[in-house]
Chains A and B, each alone.
Chain A
Amino acid sequence: QKEVEQDPGPLSVPEGAIVSLNCTYSNSAFQYFMWYRQYSRKGPELLMYTYSSGNKEDGRFTAQVDKSSKYISLFIRDSQPSDSATYLCAMRDRGSTLGRLYFGRGTQLTVWP
């Protein structure tokens, strides 16, 4: 079992839709949770960064962390064609592997006009 599981999609939605992206994980030591956006053949771009459980909102993006269920989500409201990309969840712990990020395989999202 991989430490971070993410449905690769692809996910295709119309412009203006609400998008829900999810990851599950097995390591209860994970404390920091991130979402990255990666356009084709580019490096990942940090979108959201949260610590422990709870919600964080930034514009059209909301990140949720449920540590009891080992489940994290990213919601995108009023989705735009420019949101079309691969979304990667990532996480890390506070222990000896503090600097190491564990990634899901990414969900490919297409928003059509």
Chain B
Amino acid sequence: DAGVTQSPTHLIKTRGQQVTLRCSPKSGHDTVSWYQQALGQGPQFIFQYYEEEERQRGNFPDRFSGHQFPNYSSELNVNALLLGDSALYLCASSLNFGGEQFFGPGTRLTVL
């Protein structure tokens, strides 16, 4: 049984560029949440998708947007990248929005 998968593993971008990160949930899960984890910090909630809609959102600017597809996979898009966007981006899946969340390995984004 495949767990949560994320791609790419690593990414290097320059300031002002745009990036798209991808996540496939654990088999049987229908909800995807995205978190940003800066070095030495705990993960910070970005947003959650359920039934292809953004169900709730953390304190992140509109530069951060997402999408969920009918097969429950999800994308995180970040526009106009800033140096401070450098972090590990984690995707977590769950069975409905209140279920236990299982995390993927993350995508490490470096903005130069």
Contact = CB atoms under 8 A, between A and B. Distances in A.
A binds B: yes
Interface stretch (A54-62, A64-72, A75-83, A93-101): A93-101
A28 to B, nearest CB: 19
A43 B56 contact: no
A43 B42 contact: no
Interface residues of B, number: 29
29 contacts: A6-B42, A34-B100, A41-B108, A42-B106, A43-B90, A43-B103, A43-B104, A44-B43, A46-B100, A46-B101, A88-B42, A88-B43, A90-B42, A97-B56, A98-B97, A99-B31, A99-B48, A99-B50, A99-B97, A99-B98, A100-B33, A100-B45, A100-B56, A100-B58, A101-B35, A101-B92, A103-B43, A103-B44, A106-B40
A39 B92 CA distance: 16
B91 to A, nearest CB: 8
B42 A105 contact: yes
A99 B45 CA distance: 10
Interface of B: 4, 31, 33, 35, 40-45, 48, 50, 55-56, 58, 88, 90, 92, 94, 97-98, 100-106, 108
A45 interface: yes
Interface of A is mostly: loop
Nearest to A98: B98
A8 B41 CA distance: 9
Contacts of B44: 103
Interface in A23-40: 34, 36
